[in-house]
Chain A
């Protein structure tokens, strides 16, 4: 950090490295169980453990099949009046439904939202860490972090553990000085800015609906309806998505939670309604 450079502060482990002779580097204090997460954003791993090597052996050729599926549907799109974020609420563990009411949107602060898909534990941990970093940034620099910077922080965290088995597909949505912002961040370290994203195994169904109905100049109500429809039709066809639609609207003055509608009621309404619709 800048202030460390200015004040000549050296990290404790650097000092120890200088004291001890070269051959005794194993005595240098590494991140361990007691101090991880406080000084550095590292996980303590016993020396000799190689997570990425282990994971490489656990693939189809080796006979083991660890499938990291993102069993969910989340979508977000930018339009004239901000960003709409819609997610389902089903948490599955293989074939078992762990929860029908999971919260897949993390409210980082009043103008930043993060969605979660993939491993629930990974998403929750890293996005809460991101929330901590965003707060620290605000306190140190006296202005809000931009959406691009927040997504970059998350992407760098993912890159630090690349190949070690993280599973996270997240969209960082917010409103900063450049206007509405939407970034997709992946466990591979992918970071993409875009106008519309959908993640999870139900994403293809949501893409069809939102691509078809999207217009830049939609009204707010139309955008809400489009988000709801995208998630509803995805939950209708995808086995790993379901529950309720949690929808947020990111506006210039912060986000609001729009609705929490049960998808089975929504799909019933849509199926019954299309017979009497003249044009969608």
Chain B
């Protein structure tokens, strides 16, 4: 595949196999080659993750129950050091067989959402990072900019998402330097999906929504100042007609892709991911359509995240919003939702007292 050639996909794995598994006849644990063990120390080590090898784990007083099947794997690989990349999956479990079982259960809770409309892409997410019952961080960032016209929303394990976003950002920058143009959102989604595929079946959990704008600055597409003018134009067409029109001019414009670590890669107009997503979906289904103005889109996104945080225990704290247009992404100030809770509580109290007054006056 062209993408693989560009990123030296094949050669990465061949190199890794030859350098990392010298023939070790006896059952000693292979100390990892320190030079190549540094994460991403050279351009060939795309998947050279520094695996903290078992020496100190053995001596650790906290027995995490590490599995010592290192000897078997090394015996197998030493017989055949020049494995082709097609048999790669047999080698990667080597890495995960040394996995440390988690000492406590992790739960993935969040609310992230993104939708396309005439003014670009609107992305919103809450800011709570939870760890089973504990709120590990009430101010985490789930929307990570990848480059000036691409933003990724993360859901799943925070560490995995942050790492893979950085890997993706690096690869996209390399592509841009080599070819003089930005990779399209579709290409970025495909790249991410292929990078995640070898880890299918492991405990990696990444559910990312990529929101971007392809192509150069468009004068045809409206920005917020001209919203009203073209709104009238769009409203003449029905929803399905608008879709077919957009398909015709599909070289540039807003794009939205959902990529998951189990291999899913979907293109769409509206996505919401996480434990709070059902609550957000119903609000978005009610109000999202192509002809929204930017302000309306912002308020719908905010309301959807607010409702999800209202009902879902694993979502909460603040809401982040990013708006991607042809000029790039802009970030709205982080808003603390507890103000909104208090305002709503006041409103309900006010309604109740009004009702009581009416009842008394009857």
Chain A residues at the B interface, C-beta cutoff of 8 Å: 80, 204-209, 211-212, 215-217, 229-230, 233-234, 236-237, 270-272, 274-276, 280
Contacts and interface: CB of A to CB of B under 8 A. Distances in A.
A217 B354 contact: yes
Given A209-B283, A233-B286, A280-B287, 11 more contacts: A208-B278, A208-B304, A209-B282, A209-B286, A215-B351, A217-B355, A229-B286, A234-B282, A272-B238, A274-B287, A275-B239
Contacts of A272: 238-239
Contacts of B334: none
Contacts of A205: 278-279, 281-282
B239 A208 contact: no
Nearest to A236: B285
A215 B307 CA distance: 15
B166 interface: no
A254 to B, nearest CB: 21
Interface string B117-140: 000000000000000000000000
B280 A208 contact: yes
B314 to A, nearest CB: 13
27 contacts: A204-B278, A204-B279, A205-B278, A205-B279, A205-B281, A207-B307, A207-B311, A208-B280, A208-B281, A208-B307, A208-B308, A208-B311, A209-B282, A212-B283, A212-B303, A216-B348, A216-B351, A217-B355, A230-B282, A234-B282, A236-B285, A237-B281, A271-B289, A272-B239, A274-B289, A275-B291, A280-B286
A212 B285 CA distance: 13
B282 A237 contact: yes
Contacts of A237: 278, 281-282, 285
Contacts of B285: 233, 236-237
A216 B304 contact: no
A208 B287 CA distance: 12
B58 interface: no
Interface residues of B, number: 26
Contacts of A275: 235, 239, 289-291
B221 interface: no
A117 B83 CA distance: 56
Contacts of B279: 204-205, 207-208, 211
User: Counting chain A CB atoms within 10 Å of each CB, which of B238, B289, B355 scores highest?
Assistant: B289
A116 B287 CA distance: 30
Nearest to B280: A208
A152 B147 CA distance: 59
Contact of A206 (B282, B351, B354): B282
A233 B290 CA distance: 19
A234 B278 CA distance: 9
Contacts of B304: 208
Interface in B335-362: 348, 351-352, 354-355
A246 B109 CA distance: 33
Contacts of B311: 204, 207-208, 211
B310 interface: yes
A237 B289 CA distance: 17
Contacts of B291: 275
Closest 7 CB pairs of A and B: A204-B278, A208-B279, A208-B282, A216-B351, A205-B282, A233-B282, A209-B282
A211 B355 contact: no
A229 B355 CA distance: 25
B351 A217 contact: yes
Nearest to A238: B278
Contacts of A280: 286-287
Contacts of A215: 351
A80 B355 contact: yes
Contacts of B307: 207-208, 211-212
Contacts of A271: 239, 289
A276 B238 CA distance: 11
Nearest to B278: A204
A240 B310 CA distance: 24
B78 to A, nearest CB: 38
A44 B266 CA distance: 54
A234 B310 CA distance: 18
Interface in B268-308: 278-283, 285-287, 289-291, 303-304, 307-308
Contacts of A204: 278-279, 282, 311
Which interface residue of B239, B282, B291 has the most chain A CB atoms within 10 A? B282
A29 B127 CA distance: 63
